[in-house]
Amino acid sequence: MQKQDKLKDNDIILEIKDLHTYFYNNSKNPVKAVEGINLTLYKKEVLGIVGESGCGKSLTARSILKILPTGAKIAQGSIFFNGEDILTLKQKRLNEIRGKMISMIFQEPSSYLNPVLTVGFQVSETYTAHFPNDKKNALKKTIQIFKEVGIPDPSKRIKNYPHELSGGQKQRVMTAMALINNPDIIIADEPTTSLDVTVQAQIIKLFKDLLKNHSSSIIFITHDLPLVSEIADRIMVMYAGMNVEEAPTKELISKPLHPYTKSLLESIPPITEKWQKLKTIEGQVPDPSEKPAGCPFHPRCIYAEKDCSTKKPYMIEVEKGHYTSCYHYDKI
Amino acid sequence: MNDIKNTDCLIRTENISKFFEQKTGLFNSKKEIVRAVENINIHILKGETVGLVGESGCGKTTLGRTILRLIDPTNGNIFFDGNNITSISGKELRKLRRNMQIIFQDPYSSLNPRFKVKHIIAEGLYNFKNELKLDNISIDKIVSEILEKTGLSKDASTKYPHQFSGGQRQRIGIGRAIALNPKFIVCDEPLSALDVSIKSQILNLLHELKKEYKLSYLFISHDLKITASISDRIYIMYLGRIIEELPSSQLFKNPFHPYTKALISAVPEIDSDKRRKRILLEGDVPSPVSIPSGCPFHPRCLKAMEICKSKTPKYLKKGDNHFVACWLYDQNSDSRHKTQDSSKS
Amino acid sequence: MKSFFKKIDVYLFLFILISLYLLAVFAPFFAPYHYDKEQRKDIYKNPDKIRFFDEHGKFKIRPFFYLQKRTYNEIRQRIYVEDKSQPIQLKFFVKGDTYKLLGLLETDLHLFGSEKATVNLMGTDSRGRDILSRICFGARVSLSIGLIGAFISFCLGITFGSIAGYYGNKVDFVIMRLCEMIWMFPMFYLMLSLRAAIPPEVSSVKMYFIIVFIMSFIGWAGMARVIRGMVLSLKQQEYVIAAKAMGSKDAKIILKYILPNTLSYAIVYVTISIPGYILGESTLSMLGLGIQDPGVSWGNLLAEAMAISQIKLHPWILWPGFFIFLTVLSYNFLGDRLRDTADAKTR
């Protein structure tokens, strides 16, 4: 997985620059859920986005496809996909990109699958939506992709309705749907959170296998740092709508340069014989509508200094490919 | 389990089962029996934290609530402090409630949105006002004491639950549980709905309170690492049955049951050097309506043998506080020689 | 509640409803005449047109109308013609019939009227009674019946619904089958047969309560079903289980944990069901099975408008229908908005 040194600028497939996505619900002041995200995704790469609930990780992903929840709007920024700015594209071109070049896997497969249509139809429809003249092949392709994602007896399963499948199977169907058009980017938004541990392991294995046979890049969004460390090449850590650290997986884990990442790593319970008091991050995750000034993490940070509460941080490249938004990273 | 004296046990269950009836079909014609919990024998010593681990739908929540008599068991007996509490009701049951409490998974649905925090914490105290000889002033005092112990600020008492974040709400839920000074608390996945950075705070709090109030916990969770870190002893549950019992120090070192091994191997590990070889189970947990015959785990087990399909394995002692229900470890079984090992690995 | 009041149209409908209820409460003040006062000679008199300009186009600050003269046309139908030579000023706060305001204060003050002639802004009916006055008095029955009926259904429904939902099993079975039995019959048929079981000649007051009883008897079933469903899901909520674990008694759990959480939805349901009661009363009364002469209700007033030939000749007898329409519309609208607000809250 050490492709880091090979990464060149012409390998970039997706580039997000200074993305701001706000919620304009009822008050005059928008809730700044995503505030200045920069992200680069290379070809054939797995990028993990890690953060707690409400940190804006899902919203960032949804901004890429412009499928935002009601009230949310992209206020600023640009998203370049193969050189095209998605935010300025016409609806027709956007529909071409959605599902064909960039596809998405969601957390709750049961709520994203239509309960009154067979899973086979739903998957093949994703194909025929982009290749309307190829209806003959759609069924064949569906069966093939079902086989690939490890659904046993695919020719029978395509006739099943979502409720007849288990949670793990449904997530495989979602994966098949995302994969059928061989997209350039797959965005997986917490694909294993609603699954059991043993099924989660199956899905992770599936992702790893798929990486071998497909040329897609994957954005893997999760709150589970250990989980994403198994699959991602690079990890981006988000906190309160901003990215705080970005580095190749190994480096991020062995040498975190942001206090938040460090405390996240430390709060994983170690395997010990006896009870050990766990290291914690004091305080609460800030409400997106009442973010602290300066560095959003400073009220909970043990390294915080005076300037942290006033100066807004920005990403600094400390080592090649390793960015942090902490001014005092040398103290960590 | 004969080596455990009854007097040391705070909670002991004797073959408890809970079956639910489920009517399906257009005319409610089909009756299905959900065997959520079947023939379970567990015990919890005084001052002990016992972990209960299993995947969703394995019946761990049902078991926890059955022990608390929030659900009535179909069969079997429950003992609390040596007394059989299986069929008590009315006043006696109410009296028992003072000693047994529960902490829930979802900090959002477990607090009444219309009550102030003070009222939520004091609910139990109001119920037992006469028995405990409390007046409003002493209740207020206890509430502010609990707020302090659970790490909430004093002005929290006049606020409503929706004014708090998930972690703080879980603290309120914990405060409610300890308000009556119980002996035993069922923690039903108290951390799984919380953010990563909050989990360790709450886990530390639970452990502190345990020491201070001399509590016993039944800690229900699907997270092996968290359970192992807080528990003394762990039960592994699969499809309504206990398949292994072991001291928590042994969990990652020396598990016996193939299911336990698979569970442990599935835990994501951040340190790539420590990563275990994945044992990938096939398929999902079967529905508790149609539990496979014999050992319920055999359709997914990589080491399943012929006998596993027909006969239920016995629960055998394999070490200090270490029990397992698996034919692989049943040396006395003469039938073992007759079957060929169909292990796939 | 903030988002509820933000919408300006809500104010409009709230204003309409409040005005209508004020109209009902102070009916004798707003109505120029007593509802039963007959102007024997002015049968089906056209509504008097209020004017500000006289025939020369000169503006007058005081509104006036022309006296209507009764004549007959060539086919000997009675018609009314405005006598332009006789303008009559409309006066405000005039003295008229005496009445007791709110049943206490004896007064003879009316909002408007004229000493010189009778004012019938909405015309008169077949017996020469002022339709506007009758609408004012009729509002009392029609508007209160909705509130009282819905309230009784609400109480019955919430009691039976919560008991059925909370205790389940046999209790639930019995109550729910009872509800279904009530629902099984077509509502109108049930209303008629219940009405038939009661002696035809009763006083207006008695009749009023009979109608309320009939409609609440039918209405509670729907309410109970809704509440039962909510209780079924609420009792699975962890905070209810927590209350149980805390040793709270059943009655306390139902009253303090479950019912308050159904309340917002129940109130919405009641608001939406009020028009049903108003329409129910109107239907019964229009068919002559409800409030009967000399009692007045909007439905009873509409009974005059049953024949199409009458409506063609005297369209103003449809005015009570407009008031029913306005009330039902306002209630439906408010109910919808309340539901949106309640939904948003639970989400």
What residue ranges define each of the domains in chain B, with the CATH number in brackets? Answer: 9-24+35-99+180-250+315-328 (3.40.50.300)
Contact A285 B198 (CB under 8 A): yes
pLDDT for residue C2: 53
Q: From chain B, pick out residues whose CB is under 8 angstroms from the CB of C243.
A: 112, 123
Contact C242, C211 (CB under 8 A): no
Distance CA B309, CA B299 (A): 8
Nearest CA in chain A to B249: A273
Q: In the predicted model, what is the mean pLDDT of chain B?
A: 86
Distance CA A105, CA A180 (A): 12
pLDDT for residue A27: 64
Strands B100-103, B43-45: pairing is: unpaired
pLDDT for residue A8: 60
Q: Lowest-pLDDT range, A6-10, A160-164, C183-187?
A: A6-10
Contact C301, C327 (CB under 8 A): no
* Beta-bridge partners for B43: B12
Nearest CA in chain B to C252: B127
pLDDT for residue B67: 93
Say yes or no to pLDDT of B340 above 70. no
Contact A202 B281 (CB under 8 A): yes
Number of other residues whose CB lies within 10 A of the CB of residue B8: 14
Confidence of residue B332 (pLDDT cuts 50, 70, 90): low
* Beta-bridge partners for C72: C78
Contact B111 C239 (CB under 8 A): yes
Q: Which residue has the tokens 């005076």?
A: A306
Select the residue from B123, B188, B192 to test the C interface by mutation, using most C Cβ atoms within 10 A: B123
Contact A284 B167 (CB under 8 A): yes
For A203, left (φ over 0), alpha (ψ -120 to 50), or beta? alpha
CB-based contacts of B303, cutoff 8 Å, min separation 6: B258, B328, B341, B343, B344, B345
Say yes or no to pLDDT of B4 above 70. no
pLDDT tens digits, one per residue of C38-83: 777 777 777 877 778 877 777 878 888 887 787 887 887 778 887 7
Q: Which of A169, A264, A280 sits opposite B204 (nearest CB)?
A: A280
pLDDT for residue B15: 92
Distance CA C148, CA C216 (A): 9
Q: Which of B196, B207, B271 sits opposite A275 (nearest CB)?
A: B207
Contact B55 A263 (CB under 8 A): no
Q: Which residue has the tokens 């000034």?
A: A293
**Pick from B106, B184, B119, B107: nearest CA to B146:** B119
Nearest CA in chain A to B252: A271
> CA of A90 to nearest chain B CA: how many angstroms apart?
38
pLDDT for residue B166: 86
CB-based contacts of C301, cutoff 8 Å, min separation 6: C125, C131, C134, C135, C138, C317, C320
Confidence of residue B6 (pLDDT cuts 50, 70, 90): low
pLDDT for residue C302: 83
Is some CB atom of chain C closer than 8 A to the CB atom of B234?
no
Q: Which of A53, A226, A276 sits opposite B195 (nearest CB)?
A: A53
Contact A278 B204 (CB under 8 A): yes
Q: Has residue A313 been placed in a domain?
A: no
Confidence of residue A31 (pLDDT cuts 50, 70, 90): confident
Q: In what order do the strands lie in the sheet with C51-53?
A: C51-53, C59-72, C78-89
Distance CA A187, CA A220 (A): 6
Contact B17, B76 (CB under 8 A): yes
> CA of A94 to nearest chain B CA: how many angstroms apart?
34
> CA of C264 to nearest chain B CA: how many angstroms apart?
12
Q: Which chains touch A (3 or more CB pairs under 8 A)?
A: B
Is some CB atom of chain C closer than 8 A to the CB atom of B64?
no
Q: From chain C, pick out residues whose CB is under 8 angstroms from the CB of B109.
A: 237-239
Contact B104 C244 (CB under 8 A): no
**What's the start-to-end Cα distance of chain C, in Å?**
14
Mean pLDDT over residues B267-296, rounded?
81
> CA of C218 to nearest chain B CA: how many angstroms apart?
27
Contact C249 B127 (CB under 8 A): yes
> CA of B161 to nearest chain C CA: how many angstroms apart?
12
Contact C153, C40 (CB under 8 A): no
> CA of B291 to nearest chain C CA: how many angstroms apart?
26
User: Structure tokens of B191?
Assistant: 């951390």
Say yes or no to pLDDT of B343 above 60. no
Q: What is the DSSP letter of B292?
A: P
Distance CA A100, CA A96 (A): 6
Nearest CA in chain B to C262: B114
User: Structure tokens of C225?
Assistant: 């079903």
Task: List, run by run, the mean pLDDT of 10-residue segments along chain C (347 residues).
Answer: 63 89 86 78 79 78 80 80 78 80 78 78 81 87 88 91 88 90 79 77 79 83 89 87 87 87 84 86 81 81 80 82 89 83 60
User: Structure tokens of A259?
Assistant: 């206090």
Distance CA A203, CA A161 (A): 21
Kindly report the pTM of this predicted structure: 0.80
pLDDT for residue A1: 41
- CATH of residue A91's domain is 3.40.50.300
**What's the start-to-end Cα distance of chain B, in Å?**
33
Distance CA B189, CA B53 (A): 10
Contact B270 A265 (CB under 8 A): yes
Q: Which chains touch C (3 or more CB pairs under 8 A)?
A: B
Helix (H) or strand (E) holding B172: helix B166-178
What is the secondary structure of A227-267 as a DSSP string?
A: HHHTT-SEEEEEETTEEEEEEEHHHHHHS--SHHHHHHHHT
User: Structure tokens of C75?
Assistant: 């086919």
pLDDT for residue B342: 42
Nearest CA in chain C to B182: C246
**Window 253-292 of B, Cβ < 8 Å to C:** none
Contact C260 B94 (CB under 8 A): no
User: Structure tokens of A141?
Assistant: 């392709």
The number of CA neighbours under 13 Å toward the Cβ of B105 is 14
Q: From chain A, pick out residues whose CB is under 8 angstroms from the CB of B226.
A: 269
Contact A230 B275 (CB under 8 A): yes
Nearest CA in chain C to B188: C238
Q: From chain B, pick out residues whose CB is under 8 angstroms from the CB of C249.
A: 127
Say yes or no to pLDDT of B339 above 50. no
* Beta-bridge partners for A21: A34, A74
**Pick from C143, C119, C144, C114: nearest CA to C132:** C119
pLDDT for residue C272: 85
Q: From chain A, pick out residues whose CB is under 8 angstroms from the CB of B193.
A: none
Distance CA C207, CA C196 (A): 12
pLDDT tens digits, one per residue of A302-329: 888 888 888 888 888 998 889 999 888 8
Contact B89, C249 (CB under 8 A): no
SS3 C111: strand
Q: Has residue A118 been placed in a domain?
A: no
How distant, in Å, are the alpha carbons of B116, B127, C322 from that of C246?
A: 16, 8, 56
Say yes or no to pLDDT of A46 above 80. yes
Architecture of domain C134-342: Orthogonal Bundle (1.10)
pLDDT tens digits, one per residue of B204-249: 999 999 999 999 999 999 888 889 999 999 999 999 999 999 999 8
Contact B114 C260 (CB under 8 A): yes
Contact C296, C141 (CB under 8 A): yes
What ranges do the domains of chain C cover?
48-120, 134-342
> CA of C241 to nearest chain B CA: how many angstroms apart?
8
Report the residue count for chain A.
Answer: 332
How many domains are there within chain A? Answer: 1
pLDDT for residue B345: 36
**Pick from B51, B34, B94: nearest CA to B70:** B94
> CA of B51 to nearest chain A CA: how many angstroms apart?
13
Confidence of residue B147 (pLDDT cuts 50, 70, 90): very high
Contact C242 B173 (CB under 8 A): yes
Q: From chain B, pick out residues whose CB is under 8 angstroms from the CB of C260.
A: 114
What is the secondary structure of B97-166 as a DSSP string?
A: HTTEEEE-S-TTTTS-TTS-HHHHHHHHHHHTTTTTT--HHHHHHHHHHHHHHTT--GGGGGS-GGGS-H
Tell me the angle at which helices A119-128 and A167-179 cross, rounded to the nearest 10 degrees.
Answer: 10
Q: Virtual CA dihedral for A303, A305, A311, A313, nearest 10 degrees?
A: -10
Q: How many CB pairs under 8 A join B and C?
A: 53
Q: From chain B, pick out residues whose CB is under 8 angstroms from the CB of A196.
A: 55-56, 222, 284-285
Q: From chain B, pick out residues whose CB is under 8 angstroms from the CB of A277.
A: 204, 207
pLDDT tens digits, one per residue of B153-203: 888 889 998 888 888 999 999 999 999 999 999 999 999 888 888 888 899
Distance CA A297, CA A300 (A): 6
Nearest CA in chain A to B286: A166
Say yes or no to pLDDT of A277 above 90. no
> CA of B208 to nearest chain C CA: how many angstroms apart?
22
Q: Lowest-pLDDT range, B257-261, B339-343, C117-121?
A: B339-343
Nearest CA in chain B to C246: B124
Contact B56 A196 (CB under 8 A): yes
Select the residue from B93, B109, B134, B192 to test the C interface by mutation, using most C Cβ atoms within 10 A: B109
Q: What is the DSSP letter of A270?
A: P
Structural domain boundaries, residue A50: 4-101+183-248
Interface of B with A (CB under 8 A): 55-56, 165-168, 195-201, 203-204, 207, 222, 224-226, 228-230, 249, 252, 262-263, 265-272, 275, 278, 280-285
Q: Has residue A278 been placed in a domain?
A: no
Contact A280 B200 (CB under 8 A): yes
Q: Which residue has the tokens 């071109």?
A: A93
Q: Encode burial over A124-147: b for 16+ CB neighbours within 10 A, e otherwise.
A: bbbbbebeeeeeeebbebbbebbe
